[in-house]
Structure 1
Amino acid sequence: MKKRIIAAILLASVAVTTSACNTVKGLGRDIESVGDAGDKAINR
């Protein structure tokens, strides 16, 4: 019984960590694209 609970907690932790990593990665891409657009606008 204890092993199942520990396995479930570990699986949930991995799922949360993975989804958070993808969210931060996507946010970084969004910020980068805004910076690129600003750079293009300034250089015109």
Structure 2
Amino acid sequence: MRATFLVLTLAVMIFGLAACNTVQGAGRDVQEAGDAIEDSAD
């Protein structure tokens, strides 16, 4: 029982960190696209 709980907790933590990195990467991509549009407008 404790082992199952530990494995599930670790899995949630790993997927949570992966999701944060994915969102952060998507944010950077959107920011870079916005910067490129801004630069081309100048």
> What interval of TM-score do these two structures reach, taking the shorter chain for normalisation?
over 0.9
Which runs of structure 1 show a deviation greater than 2 angstroms over 4 or more consecutive aligned residues? none
Q: Which has the larger radius of gyration?
A: 1
Q: Give structure 1 stretches of 5+ with no counterpart.
A: none
Q: Give structure 2 stretches of 5+ with no counterpart.
A: none
**TM-score normalised by structure 1 residue count:** 0.94
Cα RMSD (Å): 0.3
**TM-score normalised by structure 2 residue count:** 0.98
